[in-house]
Structure 1
Amino acid sequence: MSADGEFEVPVRHPRHRDAAPRAPIPLWRLKVSLPPLLVLIPMQPEQLSSLQTHFDVAYHPSYHPAPEGWGPDGERARFVLTHGARGLSAAELSHLPNVALVSALGAGYENLDVAAMHSRNIVAVNGAGANAPTVADQGFALLLAAVRRIPAYDAACRKGVWRDALPMQPGVSGKKLGIVGLGAVGRQFAKRGEGFDMQIGYRNRSRRDDAPAHYQYFDSVLALAEWADYLVVTAPGGAQSHHLVNGEVLRALGKHGFLVNLGRGSVVDTAALADALRDGVIAGAGLDVYEGEPSPPAALIDLENVVLSPHVAGRSPEADAATVALFIENTRRFQAGEPVLTPL
């Protein structure tokens, strides 16, 4: 590979048997260009290295909009990689005259203007399912940590407090697990719940024909919360799911109930949740996502019955490799004229 990131291709030249030998063409004169990719989100060095094998990468990581565009890097970009929180607006698309495919790296795409992309025949895809096992692992850890009060017990132990001075906490095994959004993450979470002999109920936009027969379907989040001991949110963000979990749902979950949110912060009404936790309307919560990211949720950070993590559920070496591999496969399929795997 040359210093400017292009592959050099050796060429053998046929010649007439009577012709004089010709000097070989220098390899640097024959190059295969990599498709230009504009990356708008922070990435790990290993991820970038993998992308640079397949693309001519222009790296512009930022969580803020770019109303002026990205100069020549934006003008030449054929592919764009972003995620749901960063998004890509219609105004920004106007600075991308040659873009053909836009991808959200994870499952969320709440801030991507998909309609504007479709109006220009730009293919939009996401990374649905690639990091689902890692997200479910983190979510179940949050459920266990919240229900069993592991952070509080850890702090007490370090202070020399013995168990007799601490409240007894419920278990997880055999309880009713309600899942809001039975997508890739929801199904992975349900599998982990079944490992704890939990009963599984779910609310989805429609009943899933591929769900196990013993999974109970509910026609509203409120009905699911009334049934469940523990409620887990894996639904994506967006206008349709905004504050889907509100004060009424939390009251239905009840004083022994626990909430886990792995979807998007906007799905849960933070103010209502803070009131519910403070007033004993529910017993506790575990959150990997919350409104106002990346700033910590000010209404929650002083409450002992909530366990927080800074939107890291989808991050692991395994998940990073899987999400990048899915993006690369989607672009390969697009360039080959094949259907992409995760269209929006």
Structure 2
Amino acid sequence: MKKIYITRKIDDQVIDQLKERFDVQVWNKEDTAVPKDELLHQVKDSHALLTMLSDKIDQEIFDAAPHLEVVANLAVGYDNIDLDAAKKAGVIVTNTPDVLTDTTADLTFSLIMAVGRRITEAAEYVKQGKWTSWSPYLLAGTDIHHKTIGIIGMGSIGQAVAQRAKGFNMDVLYHTRSRKSEAEQRFNAKHVSLEELLKESDYVVMLAPFTEETKQMMGKKEFALMKKSAFFVNAGRGTTVDEQALIEALQTGEIAGAALDVFEKEPISADHPLLSMKNVVAIPHIGSASRETRLTMMKLASDNIAAVLQGKKALTEVK
């Protein structure tokens, strides 16, 4: 019986379905990533891995896994996996695209609203017993409606965010390598240079995938181009941002605030400079974390594994 190793506890119904046909082993500490030495031990006789973004699947892993046929990553992204090493080893890599688009777009727009209207700051204000009276400018924030949103990365999630922005009567600018004619028609979106997007947007939203081209594409120069009244939102990849440059832009008042679901190195420590700033909303990489979407992602990853191990074509292979 072929063995599947799952690097984090997932839904029991998904595990039970896999157990009907395969030997399934699961890392049993739900809130911690599997240690590298444990993973190296488990892959020796594994035919499939169901992995998380927090798992680094590199050359060392592939060298230790002579029977490995497929790595199913529980995410859209796969920069935690060495694709060249996988290809040389003849291992298929899959991800979970599309199924998390709307959920991630919901979360992204929640970040826009939270930082613009100071929601988390206001919630803490009440919890700390500071609310003693009402005043006209008590925790006054910034409007979202009729403002300009600039979306960096106009893939499926970017377009879903643009759809939500139109409900708030926002003007939509976007920057990506290739124009999206259909999106321009649907959302009345305008394709612009990165420089123009940064200068004109009230909310700059980073949704670009991580590549060598996008690595730290938001740096000191880019933050300096933004309006002092503008907010930066990152729900894409932390590595697309020069975090020190972001910290300096916030400290000097170069931008008004930031809302972040992702960071350069994760998880961040409690003494991280960004966490001491009132104008920063920081959450722990939960873009697609709704119960419904997580279950759908788990089922897709499971289906990919089952297909490959039974000699069939993967549903969502990373090319």
TM category, shorter: 0.7 to 0.9
Partner residue of 1:28?
Answer: none
Q: Displacement, 1:317?
A: 0.9
SS of the aligned residue for 2:216 comes to coil
Q: Displacement, 1:209?
A: 4.7
Partner residue of 1:255?
Answer: 228
TM-score by length of 1: 0.81
> For the residues of structure 1 that align with 2:155 and 2:175, how far apart are their CA atoms?
10
Structure 1 counterpart of 2:288, from 295, 314, 331: 314
- 5+ residue gaps, structure 1: 1-32
Q: Displacement, 1:165?
A: 5.0
Structure 2 counterpart of 1:137, from 106, 112, 115: 106
Q: Is the 8 A contact 1:229 1:258 kept in 2?
A: yes
Q: Displacement, 1:93?
A: 0.9
Taking structure 1 as reference, are residues 339 and 177 closer, same or farther at Cα in structure 2, changes over 3 Å only?
same
SS of the aligned residue for 1:301 comes to helix
Does residue 104 (structure 1) correspond to residue 78 (structure 2)? The answer is no
Q: Displacement, 1:306?
A: 0.6
Listed as ranges, the matches of 1:72-221 within 5 Å are 73-157=42-126, 158-159=129-130, 160-166=132-138, 168-213=140-185, 214-219=188-193, 221=194
> For the residues of structure 1 that align with 2:39 and 2:306, how far apart are their CA atoms?
26
TM-score by length of 2: 0.87
Moved more, 127-136 or 50-59: 50-59
Moved more, 303-312 or 192-201: 192-201
Q: Displacement, 1:152?
A: 2.3
AA in 2 matched with 1:290: F
> For the residues of structure 1 that align with 2:268 and 2:36, how far apart are their CA atoms?
21
Partner residue of 1:6?
Answer: none
Moved more, 62-71 or 210-219: 62-71
Q: Is the 8 A contact 1:51 1:324 kept in 2?
A: no
Partner residue of 1:337?
Answer: 312
> For the residues of structure 1 that align with 2:19 and 2:173, how far apart are their CA atoms?
43
Partner residue of 2:25?
Answer: 58
Larger Rg: 1
Q: Displacement, 1:318?
A: 0.7
Partner residue of 1:233?
Answer: 206
- 5+ residue gaps, structure 2: none
Moved more, 210-219 or 330-339: 330-339
| 4+ long deviations beyond 6 Å | none
Moved more, 122-131 or 138-147: 122-131
> For the residues of structure 2 that align with 1:50 and 1:237, how far apart are their CA atoms?
33
Q: Is the 8 A contact 2:223 2:255 kept in 1?
A: yes
What is the aligned-residue RMSD (CA, Å)?
2.4
Q: Displacement, 1:54?
A: 5.4
Taking structure 1 as reference, are residues 172 and 270 closer, same or farther at Cα in structure 2, changes over 3 Å only?
same
